[in-house]
Structure 1
Amino acid sequence: MAVGGHDIECDLLVVGGGINGAGIARDAAGRGLCVVLCEKDDLGSHTSSASTKLIHGGLRYLEYYEFALVRKALIEREVLMRCAPHIIRPLRFVMPHAPGQRPALLIRAGLFLYDFLARRELLPGSHGVRLRCHVAGRPLRPEFTRGFVYSDGWVDDARLVVLNAMDACRKGAAIKTRTACVALRRERDHWYATLRQADGVESVVRARCVVNAAGPWTASLLGMALPRRDARSLRLIKGSHIVVKRLFEHEHAYIFQHRDGRIVFAIPYEGDYTLIGTTDLDYRGDPNAVAIDGAEVAYLCELVSQYFSAPVRPDDVVWTYAGVRPLVEDAAADAKAVTRDYRFEVEAEGGAPLLSIFGGKITTFRKLAEEAVDLVCKSLGSPQRGWTAKACLPGGDLYGDTPQNCAVLRYGEWEAKVAKQYPWLAPGLLARYCRAYGTRVHTLLSGRAALADMGGELEPGLYAAEVEYLRRYEWAVTAADILWRRSKLGLHLPPGAEARLDAWLSAQ
């Protein structure tokens, strides 16, 4: 019921349910602010689920002298591994060296800098490698005889968004998915936002501060809020990926450099597949309709075929995805050179503050959120210290409530212990549950002592119990939410699985 012209009152309204918005909502709620987050679609359904799935310092950013960004990302790499050791794990990368590339000594110097720009406790350092004597050399063409190995991390990006939203909710935030902000006006010391749900029902939120974390729609929201003001321009960069059947049997990833200077990764993915990407192209279309095109598919196939003995062809592609990165317009001539660092813009001259987020990368989301909430708290006269660096994300408390090195280094021991508690689950299914849910696997399996208690197998490996969990705790509504964001089961299921699951969900 509306009271005084509004339905909901809060300290902070966050518009945008990607990784930045979810991270900000979590941090702010943990500092005692009353928070509402609205997202027009599903959590992480755009840019934040279309990444290369890496938690990394950004080795190639050294080429552009972005030492501060790389250092910040390297620090965050280990912070996040401790906070979410179930969805983030170490990954070793092999970089074949080819004639015509930078001299090997220069690359070695760059890797030395990468190793020591920030304190490193969890990951081994880099070293040279003779590819003819290394398992990662076998799938490569014979002319690649030497290379380098270094460390970074892999992340389930869409689940990272959801876990931040879950923790925000646990700390009191209201998370409103499939709810668009369709009007935003400022009246002195408050913002009034009209939110519209997917069914057309509208409500009005009265907020002391608004954070604009709308990603590719950041400039549009800023224009809605301040129509007479020139909005800061974003440079939208499309990044596309392809997935093919597994190209190699080992667990290393590859980093390849094209003659045009662009970097492409080939990463073990979902057990049976290899993920290849990404492209960097300026994008001027509708962010709602972004998709890979044939030229990008051909480019990625051609590039990796220059390295692998067995060529990769467009017909080998089994799945693709693309996203638009909302980067700061910095006048870089080449899309791949546009900075991945973030910037804030605070507009408070007319009363209640509006904080807009420009740029950013998934690895630095927590630091971005911390700095953003510092600004919010200062604006609201409610100074509270950041806390997220020392707190596990939901499910990440494998070895206690506070982040621990052992959670990353001894993940296998924890999983083996869980397997003994649920001997009736198939090993592969149990391993997937542990990786996806961490300690929350016990919530998913609470009260269940046999496969018959899982409520029926809706699709191979997908039981009703998991779907019920995702609907209850993780805002899953559609089959796409479940099969492509909360999991990647869509890759493994037979044709028609998404339609069958949507029909089952509708019947519920």
Structure 2
Amino acid sequence: MTDKLDFPLDAAPFDLIVIGGGINGAGIASEAASRGLSVGLYEAKDFAIATSSASSKLLHGGLRYLEQYEFRLVKEALAEREILLKKAAHIVRPMRFRLPHHASLRPAWLIRLGLFLYDHLARRSVLPPSRSIKLEPHDGLNAGFINAFEYSDCWVDDSRLVIANVKHAHSEGAEVRNYCRVLNVSRNQELWDIELYDQRTKQTMHRSCRAVVNATGPWAADFLNQFSPDKSLRTMRLVKGSHLIVPRLYDGESAYLLQNDDKRVVFVIPYLDKFSMIGTTDIPFTGDPYQAQASDDEINYLLTITNQHFRHQLTATDVVSSFSGVRPLFGDESSPAQELSRDYELVIQTDHGKLPILTVYGGKLTTYRKLAAKAVDKLSEFFPNSMSSQSSLSVFAEAKGFDYRSLFKQVSLQYPELAKPTIERLIELYGVELWEILSVIGTDTRPIVGDLYQAEIDHLVSNEWALTLDDILNRRTKLGYFLNNEEREALLSVVDHDLSFKIEQQ
């Protein structure tokens, strides 16, 4: 990677500049660069800092969307699960979901019909089909729950999926920058002029390009209205989804889908071995999406539904942590948030057929790759020499030749001093690229805190654009859940000076 402070004052015009480093922006940059376009990707804060690190961390078709007749969206998402299982094998894994039966909420025949469609709307080659099961006492549910339905979906580390796309875009020649805010975009004769402010160097830069992608998520409409010559052609509704992290509620690797009498469903998902993740809510949101956090009402709502199902009863004091993300959705103002579509729309605006700006409205984690391919296809009339998409067949570098069992065995033999949980953590984060870290860990005498070595920090700074302690602990890894205040202070005392940028901003 080019030195993260090496940001030349001028550069040749790009074909495409993507604004926004969440999953859609990173995916579009990756797709466009792999199809032969020159690309710049700029994110105002850290990659995946907002909605794309605050999801339910699922690659799923959206079983409940069938009730809203969103068959195309569900079919597309189901097909993408299978693609991403191979494309990002190091961070995606199959997960079985259990739906305890409430006869008063949804009849069994309706659930069976929905699961039949879920099994057959798209081809499955990896994931097993749905089935009916009997619940056992060790499952942890209240005694009143006897029958359940079980089906397949996938879990993913959402923020690392963003980083995988950013890294791939960079490997294909893209210029990528986080902590680099776009101040203005304007058409200037034959090119777009993009004014940037790099928060690390405190410098204002300019880049030019032939097309712009506005992938700023919940800020998409505001960005057009405030920083571009165009006005947004769509109105979005912002909806907040909150999640709770609590001590693990039950044994086993299955997740649960809990029904509620308001027709919503809540996931309870095993998380980081020690925890369960509970979510999500759907609440109208106004304000700054960066400041979204779980309200007391949301916490009580999620805990109440969970306590209605599980024997172990939770209180607010059991909440280890919480996070909230803001999703931009379509729909009538009078419709409940849970009835709004999770679909997406790609809208191009031009100046008399030239200098397009494509805005991404909506979207969901599961379908990001398909959205990215469609976005580049939509711009292809302006780039007739762009290549066809191969992203459904290609594999991220971290997942090439990935085999968990084989990799674990090799690492265990070569690095017997590393504890089993450390090896598992490194494999699940970095896939086959963990060898780059291990080759340096071998020279470290001991970790800085927990099982975090200086070599891993250096790797994240040099290869994954980590600039702050928060970048490292909460997005590149999830070690923030496992460090106490003393360990955080110890880490602050030894990290590279580069990381002081954000620390000073906290």
TM-score by length of 2: 0.93
- Please tell me whether the aligned partners of residues 54 and 324 of structure 2 are also in contact (alpha carbons under 8 angstroms): yes
- What residue in structure 2 maps to residue 336 of structure 1? 338
Give 1:109 shift: 1.2
- Please tell me whether the aligned partners of residues 479 and 498 of structure 1 are also in contact (alpha carbons under 8 angstroms): no
- What residue in structure 2 maps to residue 172 of structure 1? 173
- What residue in structure 2 maps to residue 50 of structure 1? 54
Q: Encode CA deviations 1:485-507: one digit per residue, 9 max, x unaligned.
A: 01111111122444443443354
- What residue in structure 1 maps to residue 195 of structure 2? 194
- The amino acid of 2:44's aligned partner reads K
- Please tell me whether the aligned partners of residues 190 and 352 of structure 1 are also in contact (alpha carbons under 8 angstroms): yes
Once residues 28 and 293 of structure 1 are traced to their aligned partners in structure 2, the CA distance between those partners, rounded to angstroms, is: 39
- The amino acid of 2:33's aligned partner reads A
Q: Encode CA deviations 1:134-154: one digit per residue, 9 max, x unaligned.
A: 753xx1000001111111000
Once residues 112 and 378 of structure 2 are traced to their aligned partners in structure 1, the CA distance between those partners, rounded to angstroms, is: 40
Instruction: Give the 3-state SS of the residue equivalent to 1:141 in structure 2.
Output: coil
- What residue in structure 2 maps to residue 464 of structure 1? 454
Q: 1:496 to 1:282 in 2, by over 3 A?
A: farther
Given the alignment of the two structures, is residue 431 of structure 1 paired with residue 418 of structure 2, yes or no?
no
- What residue in structure 2 maps to residue 97 of structure 1? 101
- Please tell me whether the aligned partners of residues 183 and 193 of structure 1 are also in contact (alpha carbons under 8 angstroms): yes
Give 1:308 shift: 0.4
Give 1:469 shift: 0.5
- What residue in structure 1 maps to residue 482 of structure 2? 492
Q: 1:210 to 1:506 in 2, by over 3 A?
A: same
Q: For residues 28-427 of structure 1, what are the structure 2 equivalents within 5 Å?
A: 28-132=32-136, 135-136=138-139, 139-199=140-200, 200-227=202-229, 229-331=231-333, 333-350=335-352, 351-399=354-402, 411-427=404-420
Once residues 369 and 230 of structure 1 are traced to their aligned partners in structure 2, the CA distance between those partners, rounded to angstroms, is: 20
What is the RMSD of the two structures over their aligned residues, measured on CA atoms? 1.9
Q: Encode CA deviations 1:347-400: one digit per residue, 9 max, x unaligned.
A: 01342010000000000000001111112232223231001111111311125x
Once residues 282 and 324 of structure 2 are traced to their aligned partners in structure 1, the CA distance between those partners, rounded to angstroms, is: 11
- Please tell me whether the aligned partners of residues 245 and 318 of structure 1 are also in contact (alpha carbons under 8 angstroms): yes
Give 1:212 shift: 0.3
Instruction: Give the 3-state SS of the residue equivalent to 2:439 in structure 1.
Output: coil
- Please tell me whether the aligned partners of residues 483 and 498 of structure 1 are also in contact (alpha carbons under 8 angstroms): no
Once residues 71 and 418 of structure 1 are traced to their aligned partners in structure 2, the CA distance between those partners, rounded to angstroms, is: 39
Give 1:230 shift: 4.9
- What residue in structure 2 maps to residue 454 of structure 1? 444
Moved over 3 A (4+): 5-8, 224-231, 329-332, 496-500
Q: Encode CA deviations 1:393-452: one digit per residue, 9 max, x unaligned.
A: 1311125xxxxxxx5xxx334433443333232111011101100000111112554xxx
Q: 1:160 to 1:68 in 2, by over 3 A?
A: same
Q: Encode CA deviations 1:284-338: one digit per residue, 9 max, x unaligned.
A: 1111211111110111000100000121111100000001012234556010111
Q: 1:254 to 1:18 in 2, by over 3 A?
A: same
- The amino acid of 1:365's aligned partner reads Y
Stretches of structure 2 lacking an aligned partner (at least 5 in a row): 1-5, 499-506
Q: 1:242 to 1:65 in 2, by over 3 A?
A: same
- The amino acid of 2:494's aligned partner reads W
- Please tell me whether the aligned partners of residues 183 and 227 of structure 2 are also in contact (alpha carbons under 8 angstroms): no
Once residues 56 and 456 of structure 1 are traced to their aligned partners in structure 2, the CA distance between those partners, rounded to angstroms, is: 40
Q: 1:326 to 1:501 in 2, by over 3 A?
A: farther
- Please tell me whether the aligned partners of residues 185 and 229 of structure 2 are also in contact (alpha carbons under 8 angstroms): no
Once residues 124 and 214 of structure 1 are traced to their aligned partners in structure 2, the CA distance between those partners, rounded to angstroms, is: 36
Identity of aligned residues (%): 41
Q: 1:226 to 1:177 in 2, by over 3 A?
A: closer
Q: 1:174 to 1:298 in 2, by over 3 A?
A: same
- The amino acid of 2:447's aligned partner reads E
Q: Encode CA deviations 1:172-211: one digit per residue, 9 max, x unaligned.
A: 0011100000111112331101000114311011110000
Once residues 502 and 11 of structure 1 are traced to their aligned partners in structure 2, the CA distance between those partners, rounded to angstroms, is: 40
- Please tell me whether the aligned partners of residues 330 and 339 of structure 1 are also in contact (alpha carbons under 8 angstroms): no
Once residues 250 and 303 of structure 1 are traced to their aligned partners in structure 2, the CA distance between those partners, rounded to angstroms, is: 20
- What residue in structure 2 maps to residue 402 of structure 1? none
Once residues 334 and 255 of structure 2 are traced to their aligned partners in structure 1, the CA distance between those partners, rounded to angstroms, is: 29
Q: Encode CA deviations 1:37-85: one digit per residue, 9 max, x unaligned.
A: 0000010000000000101111010010000000000000010000111
